[in-house]
Amino acid sequence: MPEPLVEPAEKTRIAATEPQQTEIEASAAEEVFEEEKEFYEAPIIEKGEDPSASSSDRELPPLISVEEAEALIPDKTKLLMDELFRARIQRVKRIDPKEIR
């Protein structure tokens, strides 16, 4: 069965109703893409760092030991952490296994 003939005027009308991106919209979308690409590809610069220094020039300080890290925590904070840990353990112990089901 042959396809029905479509008048050229109808083709034009159909094509005109389809949304098409203008040159301005296309160039604006391209600019935004380039800006986002530059943003995501830019290296992360820490506060106080020289932005002109490359990432390979930056030296990381050696990590401190666990003992040194614990020595930096004030005693009051350690006591609060212990209390929170004990309270969490007590709360876990009080849960009835039947409630879980």
For 55, residues 6+ apart whose C-beta sits below 8 A from its C-beta are 43
* Contact yes or no for 22/16 (Cβ under 8 A): no
Torsion of CA 24, 25, 27, 31, to 10 degrees: 130
Q: Give a yes or no: residue 89 inside a domain.
A: yes
What's the rounded Cα separation, in Å, for the pair 29 and 23? 10
Q: Give a yes or no: residue 72 inside a domain.
A: yes
Assigned token pair, 13: 């009308």
Q: Give a yes or no: residue 58 inside a domain.
A: no
pTM of the model: 0.26
Q: Give a yes or no: residue 85 inside a domain.
A: yes
Binned at pLDDT 50, 70 and 90, residue 98 comes out as: confident
The tens digit of pLDDT for each residue in 16-54 reads 555 566 666 666 666 666 666 666 666 666 666 665 655
Q: Give a yes or no: residue 93 inside a domain.
A: yes
Q: Give a yes or no: residue 37 inside a domain.
A: yes
Domain containing residue 85: 8-45+65-100
Assigned token pair, 85: 């840990």
Q: Give a yes or no: residue 21 inside a domain.
A: yes
CB atoms within 10 A of CB 45: 13
The tens digit of pLDDT for each residue in 46-78 reads 666 665 655 555 577 888 888 888 888 888 888
Number of domains making up the chain: 1
Measured CA to CA in angstroms, residue 29 lies from 36, 59, 89 at distances of: 11, 39, 55
Q: What count of residues does the chain have?
A: 101
Q: Give a yes or no: residue 3 inside a domain.
A: no
